[in-house]
Chains A and B, each alone.
Chain A
Amino acid sequence: MKKLLSALSLAICTGLVLVSGNAMAEQTIGVQAATTPAIATARVNVSVVVQKVVVLRIGDANATVSAVTFSVGPNPAIAGAPGDSLAYAGTIPPIIGTTVATTNPTTSAGALTVGAWTNASAGASLSCSLSALSGATAFATGATAAGVPGTTDITVTSVAGAGNLQTPGATLAACGTSTSTIASRTTLGGTFTYGTSFTATDLAAGTYGNTVTYTATTL
């Protein structure tokens, strides 16, 4: 609101203005003849700093690690199993099949929703690595060996297309050796679908697995 001040206030106001004329940044003065335009200029630098951001989602959009579990057993399942001395009239060895279940989420067995985004100009790379999973024997390197399923036996497929995040490789054997690309400022979605290629009857009874850590790294 505009105010008209008293004489005393006016004097104070003028004094402040006069004091403020000393040693100021980017202050210029224009002095010209009466017929020439007078100009004074001053500058300000404007700066915007944009942080580097990379987002990666594997599974549900939360902090819980998803799990994909393959169960290998008689197919069709034996009624009443697990248990001892169930009646069985099939062949020896029995037909062994593989089923898959997923937790977090549980809605689509073997398939996890994925997503990625980065604002790094050169984009980012997606890699994976394998580490020990508590209570499980690690997958053998490469193909099935000594009854232990191998990293090439666990397949991972992604949805084709530029808008979908691609797996680093077609199997877990690609972990540590291959990467896929996350384009800059492109929202990637899709799913990673996990499967198996081992021969079920080649596997020894046991629990096998690894924790697969996916890492998006800006380039």
Chain B
Amino acid sequence: MVVGGVTALCLVSEAGAVVTISSIYLGTRTLTLRVGTATAGAIDTVQFNVGGATVGNSLPYAAAVNGNGVAIAASSGGAVAINMKMQVPASKVPQNVTTTVTYPPALTCISGGCGSAAIPFSKIRWTTNSPSSLDFQSGYFSDGGSPKTIQSGQLNSTADPLISLVGGTFDVSNTMTFTYINDVAYPAGNYSGTVTYTATLP
């Protein structure tokens, strides 16, 4: 059974970015992580369409062909909600929490004739809404797939002295807006990769 409820502190950055710290939690230590929109059971997809604004054959064209280095927004699913919530009894206060993201080195070809070609995950970046130090941070994926820490915080009695006596809840919500760095012309095709967010209470 989980018991909680009296709000101690709610830190609001801007729309879509909320850090909430509240006191009184007498249950078992729990951790919840949600990434995506309100569609039960599905994994959200962020899709980028790389190409000209017009599709067709034999269009007049005089410019050089290559990626122009400009970040392009996703054609669908570019803004992904992320929420991490931990509930901690007094016996575990102070409680650290860390959220990391793991990903493969590259987006691999899944169809469309691109064969063994791949797009490094470093071409994908994200920004969050005016994050505070406790919030999810903006960042980018790295070549080679090194995990990234995107959030780190601690529930303690700084926000409310009651937390050390009666436990509390630490809730962080934000929105990640993804972009694709279009600076290389890759073989035509469809590429995909899955990133995994992991929240951990040591």
Residues of A within 8 A of B (CB): 1-5, 9-11, 13-14, 16-17, 20-32, 34, 37-53, 55, 61-63, 117, 119-122, 184-185, 218
Contact = CB atoms under 8 A, between A and B. Distances in A.
Interface extent on B, as a size class? 35 or more
A173 B190 CA distance: 39
B25 to A, nearest CB: 13
Contacts of B5: 14
Given A32-B29, A44-B35, A47-B191, A13 B20 contact: yes
Interface string B9-28: 11111100010101000001
Given A26-B36, A49-B48, 17 more contacts: A13-B20, A17-B18, A27-B33, A34-B89, A37-B201, A38-B30, A38-B86, A39-B199, A41-B196, A43-B196, A44-B46, A44-B194, A45-B45, A47-B46, A48-B47, A49-B51, A120-B113
Contact of B44 (A13, A26, A38, A51): A26
B91 to A, nearest CB: 6
Interface of B is mostly: strand
Interface of A is mostly: mixed
A55 B18 CA distance: 48
Interface of B: 5, 7, 9-14, 18, 20, 22, 28-52, 55, 60-62, 65, 75, 80-86, 89, 91-92, 107, 112-115, 117, 119, 121, 123-124, 130, 132, 171, 173, 178, 180, 185-202
